[in-house]
A and B are shown apart, each in its own frame.
Chain A
Amino acid sequence: MNEMELLRDLAQETPLPAPADLDAARARLLAAITTDPATYTTAVAQVTTSPPGPPDGRPAGPLRPAAPAPVLTAAKFMHAGAIGTAALLIVVLAFSWDINLYHWTTGHGHQDTTAQLRQLRPLIITVVAAYGLVVTAMWLWMARATSRGKNWARILSTVLFGLATLQLTGNQGVLDMFFAVLTWLTALPAVWLLWRPASSAFFKSAKAARSRPPSHISGP
């Protein structure tokens, strides 16, 4: 008998616990499960996608799996990105009358004189507003699509993140750089979360759910 066997003998003195000994621990785990965001979304998905279906007897849509916590968190980051972009757009538009500020924030990359800028101001404001609105809309669109398990949205989000990374390397003014860094810092965790194993499983199961034939529910 060597020391390992002696240790095993020593271990035998501790029996397995009775089921009642684990009740308290199990209750704590179940409480944590109940308060988990994924549990909530599962319950909501069951309520919103379960029978009864449309009263006219049309087929009910396929059951969509609930988004796991990483996807929900990624969507929150995207919503934060949309809010940040919109807020920045409002600030930019609020100070659009200040030509000197424009010179300072856009750096020395442009050759326009102050007089030319005054003339171009309506065009610049329109372009900036359109760009800001498009970026805001993209954030919201990606958040909605990824939450619904659209894999193309995950891929597009990653591509857009790549473009945001390239934007960091450009010769820009203070405002452009601030916007680029803000976008990048918000997108980084979102994209990282979208590629977690739990997220990948969700996108796969969402695709499988969409490819299943819809269940037919008879009307009343």
Chain B
Amino acid sequence: MRRRREPAAADDAAVIESSWRDPEQFAVLFDRHAPHIYRYLARRAGRQVADDLVAETFLAAFAKRDRYDLGHPDARPWLYGIATNLVGQHRRDEARQYRITQAAPAEPADPGHADRVAADVTAQAMRTLLEAALAALSAGDRDVLLLIAWEQLTYQEVSRALAIPVGTVQSRLHRARMKVRQVLAGTDAGATYEELTTNE
């Protein structure tokens, strides 16, 4: 038998359960996770779109809260899953976001420090390559890669978020990493990548 949760308990499941009777409790979940969901959406689709998408994520979660499985104390995978689905409906915004970040100039460096300039140029080159690599991935592979690399979700959490088996998460991650490596290694800037990876 499941342990009875009180609204004062810290975990998300208790908050969602209390929101079934008292919907205002759902605002607690927003205050707890909205900043991170917003940042994830801003990274993927840009700040302009993130404003709308973070609201839509929590509106969708609120509407579906009675279907939440209380066996999962942490609601982050659930919320990231909803957010990822919404990003899927804004692929053009996401593609544009990658183009914008690729085109963005590097931060101006102090001209007196040659090493700093070189480092900035390298960082900018790597960033451009990474964005290109991400843009070239399939949507499913990119979802898995970014939820793990950016949001630090575990395989199990990504599996829950995207409603796919853990094995599929692993295979998609492996494929995505391989493709990113190929893109990074297959260009002029690949030498930098090779240096970085061999110095691990």
Contacts and interface: CB of A to CB of B under 8 A. Distances in A.
A28 interface: yes
A172 interface: no
Given A25-B51, A28-B59, A33-B62, A3 B17 contact: no
Contact of A21 (B22, B36, B38, B200): B38
Contacts, number: 121
A143 to B, nearest CB: 19
20 contacts: A1-B199, A2-B197, A7-B130, A7-B150, A8-B150, A10-B127, A14-B43, A16-B35, A17-B39, A22-B34, A25-B55, A28-B59, A32-B59, A36-B62, A39-B23, A196-B67, A197-B66, A197-B70, A199-B66, A202-B20
A197 B51 CA distance: 31
Contact of A17 (B20, B31, B42, B68): B42
A202 B54 contact: no
Contact of A22 (B4, B22, B38, B63): B38
The 9 closest A-B pairs by CB, nearest first: A198-B66, A25-B55, A7-B149, A198-B20, A11-B150, A28-B55, A1-B196, A68-B20, A36-B23
A33 B27 contact: yes
Nearest to A17: B38
Interface residues of B, number: 50
Contacts of A26: 27, 30-31, 34
